[in-house]
Structure formats: structure tokens, C-alpha cells
A and B are shown apart, each in its own frame.
Chain A
């Protein structure tokens, strides 16, 4: 279970990173092209959608890599056992937010699908990107569950590694 989630979040993160590379190319191409009179059509909105891919697909991976900043000044001083308790607390708090985000961003995506929202220049439908955020939040929630399970086991027994 844990392995599956982590390999999925690694793969999706990889796709997100490709979006980052494309962002560089699209905007640079637009700037250079504009100089010669051939701007990239819709570069502006493409960039706005590509960053959604980058963030949406990177959320879970960032969580897995301990990328979310917290203030450890107090809790860092406690025993590993007590720290595990606070880790559980942080995972639960994150999980509540993540689950609500999945639910609400999905609804937001459904609304967009029904309204048929599209971008101005290229007329790309927005709903897939809104669903992508819901998917990202879902992966984030799974990652938090993995962490919650790990910290609960640290809570019971002595920690290893």
C-alpha cells in the first residue's frame, strides 16, 4: 500500500516536472517569437495551466519529501515518543484539510464542467485542470495517511531509523 502510493506520487511528480520544463520553453519561445513578430499563441494561459499541473501533481511528493515547513522550536526538544504524538496530530490536521479540499475542489471542477468554462485564446476547457487539483489533494491525503500510520506505530513501540 505504502509502496504503491509513493511510486504513484513519484510518477505524477515526474509529469509535473515536465510541465515545468515546458513552461520555460513556452514563455521563452513567446518572448523570442514576439521579438521576431511570431509570438506563441496563448502562451499566457498555457503557462497558467501548466503551473496547475506542476503544483497539483507535486503536492503529494512534497509531503513525502518532508517539504512542508513547520516550526519545530518547541516539539523538537521532546522525546521521540512525544514527537510521534505531535506528528500524528499534524497528519490528522493535514488530513482533515486534504479531504475537505478533495471534496470541494472536485465540486468546483464539476461546476466548471457544467458551465463549460474555457480559456480565452486557445479555448482549452478548464475542468480537467480543476479536477487535477482534486486529484493532487487526493494523493496528498493518501500520503498523509501513510505518515499517520507510521507515526502511530512510532507512538507504540520504540523508533527505528
Chain B
């Protein structure tokens, strides 16, 4: 059989096996193993299988993944999210939709020190939903702003998906992380603009709260300073070239541990839970990365990614038409996959095409992560929506998804803006050495 055809078949088999609820990592390993065996023989294929785990685990760059996850866990334990939230509230609470603004601010702050969205959805949900329901906020706006805001976690660095993207595409992790800063802030600003106009047009859904005094506002900033310090240290350190991402992550994890300890929030149980959840998430991600590496090894042998890239580059369409199709594919697949799944399943095929069309790899990393952020809240498998409905027991999931829709549209708008103006994403990493 022509290796090219084998490559195409492997993609169909891959999605068939995934549909049978076989774990992603197992499917990738199985297909990689069988495909390699067909092309280079069993002996060589098994040899590669034996080598792939150690080579891909024992990699200094990849060690930033558990360290960044741990940092986010410690920050969650420290209860910092609440402080940013109350500070955001004292500054913006009197505006239409004030509590929802405060929620977005808190999510943005949390995103700046935590690499995942799901933790933010659950933590923010417990902190802000009771308050919003006390002020008679519409349940759609309340849950929508928590779910939408929590997705910022994977766009604003540190971000686990951006790191996985860097690993899979051999793009500079430091640069991809720094590139996420401005798009994340843009997305947050658009969320807040939308909340403002929504609440302004229909004041009943979000009655404004009392105006806080200036003194109270400035005092409240004190509680947010740890976030700013840790963010500047970690991301600023990477930006300035003072740290590698791994070193930044370790310092960040250590710093946030000390922070939680100094605030009297760190208990033995909390420490153990943070370590345990970090370990579990790390193993899950690494097993998938190992699978992806084996599968990509096989795909490279079939020449499918290169041939496809050449073929697509020769098509008589504008490259933006093809990009649009690719992004639509990501958004649709995002309905049933999470972001890491999206990355490992689609990038091996799509990335060479995108690169062949002359798009910037760093920029594309941020773009696909934004589609991953959309995947966190799109039904039927929006992980943030589920995490949120787990804590908002009195709100039906249907209402949560209704409330999410405007936030999804804003993400879509951000996506279009970022595609139209790549400089928004790229100017910051370009300033790095």
C-alpha cells in the first residue's frame, strides 16, 4: 500500500477508535505502533515504542508542565482569587453589570498565574455566583461571565495548552507564552465591553451595586499585589530572558507556595491535594504527548503531512480561505474534544499546512488556543461549563449554555480580530531576543 494512503486511512481509524471511548493516548500509541510496523517492520517499530517514553519524559523543557500546574494549584489554595474579585468589585461594582465585571477581572488575574480554565470555573463559581444571585443578577449573565472568564486561563500565560503546542510544533515555548498576553487581555476587555452594553440595555438583569470610595479601592489593590508580583516575576522573567520557562515555573510554584503559607491557607491536606492533582494531570498530559510523538513519527514516515502541505499551498485559493476552514474544523472538533486533544489530533496534519501557507507558528499557537478556549464552553462537552454547573446546582445546564452564547460570540470576534491583525499577537514576542 502507498504510505500516503496508509496515512489517510490511519486518520479515519484514529477517529473511529476515539469514538469507541478508548483513551486518546492509547489510540495514538496503538496506531503509531501498527503504522510504524507496516512501514519499517515489527522489530524497528517495537524498538521505537521502547525508546519514545523515556526520550519524551526526560526533557528539561517539558518539566515546566507539572511546575506550572502546581503553581496554579497553590494559587487556588491561597484564596487569592477572592481578593482580586473584591478589588475588581470595589472599582467596577457601581457600573452596569458590576459583579460580572469583577468576575472577569478576577478570572483575568487568575489566568495570569494559572494555566488551566477548569479550576477557575469551579473556584470562581463558588465565590461569585451566590453574590450575583443575592443582587438578583440574571442567571444567564452570572454563569456566562464565570464560564467565559474562566476560559482566559488557557490564553493568558502561563498556559498548559500553549506549552503543549510549543512542544508538538517545536516552537519556542517562551515566545508562544508571551504571545498569549495581549490576545488574552483583548478578549477580557471585549467580554467586559459586552457585559457593559448588555447590562446597560437591560438594567434588570444586572442591577448596579453601591459605589465604593477611593480609599477602599486603593486598599483593595493591596490584596491583588501578589498576583501582579508573581506574574511579573514569571512571565516578565521569561520575557526578559532571565529565566527559561521551566525555571520560571519552578520559581512561580515556590513563590505561590510561600504565598499560600504566609496567608495561613496552606494545610497539609491542601498541599497533598495540590501535589496529587498536579501529578494526575501531568501523567495524563505526558501519556498523550508520548502517544502524539509516536503517531507523528509514523505520519512523518508516510509523507502525508508534507505532501498535504504542498498540495494545499498549490491550491488556487487565498490562504485565508484555507485558514478559515482549518479554524472551523478546530471549533467544530472542539465541541467533542478538549484543547489538548485538539492539539495532538489536529496539529500533526494541520501545522505543516499552516506553516506551508506562510503563517507565523507563534501566532497560530495563540489562535488555536483561542479555539481551545471556545471548546471549553461549547456544548455538548464544554468542560468549563460542566465544572461550573457542578458548583451552581440550582442553575440548569441549558441556562448555563444560553448564558455562554454571547461570550462565545465575543471569542469568535476576538478570533477574527487576531486573524485580521496578526501584529496584536506578535509584537510582544518580536521584542524578545
Residues of A within 8 A of B (CB): 13, 16-17, 20-21, 23-28, 30-31, 44, 47-52, 54-56, 58-59, 61-62, 65, 67-76, 83, 86-87, 89-90, 93-94, 96-97, 100-101, 103-108, 129-130, 133, 137
Q: Are A104 and B287 in contact (CB under 8 A)?
A: no
- List, in ascending order, chain A residues with CB within 8 A of B27's CB: 93
Q: A68-B25, A93-B26 are in contact. Are A59 and B287 (CB under 8 A)?
A: yes
Q: Are B243 and A31 in contact (CB under 8 A)?
A: yes
Q: Are A27 and B246 in contact (CB under 8 A)?
A: yes
Q: Are B62 and A94 in contact (CB under 8 A)?
A: no
**Interface-lining segment among B44-52, B97-105, B126-134, B402-410:** B44-52
Q: Which of B60, B282, B340, B381 contacts A47 (CB 8 A)?
A: B60
B27 CB to closest chain A CB (Å) equals 8
Q: Is the interface of B mostly helix, strand, loop or mixed?
A: helix
- List, in ascending order, chain B residues with CB within 8 A of A44's CB: 60
Most buried by A among B62, B63, B243: B63
- List, in ascending order, chain B residues with CB within 8 A of A76's CB: 21
Query: Please, how many angstroms separate the alpha-carbon atoms of A71 and B70 in the complex?
Result: 26
Task: Determine if B336 is an interface residue (Cβ-Cβ < 8 Å).
Answer: yes
Query: Please, how many angstroms separate the alpha-carbon atoms of A90 and B20 in the complex?
Result: 8
Q: Which of B246, B338, B380 contacts A69 (CB 8 A)?
A: B338
* Total A-B pairs, Cβ < 8 A: 182
- List, in ascending order, chain B residues with CB within 8 A of A97's CB: 26, 29-30, 33
Residue in chain B with minimal CB distance to A112: B54
- List, in ascending order, chain B residues with CB within 8 A of A17's CB: 272, 275-276, 278-279
Residue in chain A with minimal CB distance to B249: A27
Q: Which of B20, B54, B57, B243 contacts A108 (CB 8 A)?
A: B54
Q: A20-B66, A28-B251 are in contact. Are A73 and B46 (CB under 8 A)?
A: no
Query: Please, how many angstroms separate the alpha-carbon atoms of A127 and B286 in the complex?
Result: 20
Q: Which of B17, B20, B50, B284 contacts A68 (CB 8 A)?
A: B284
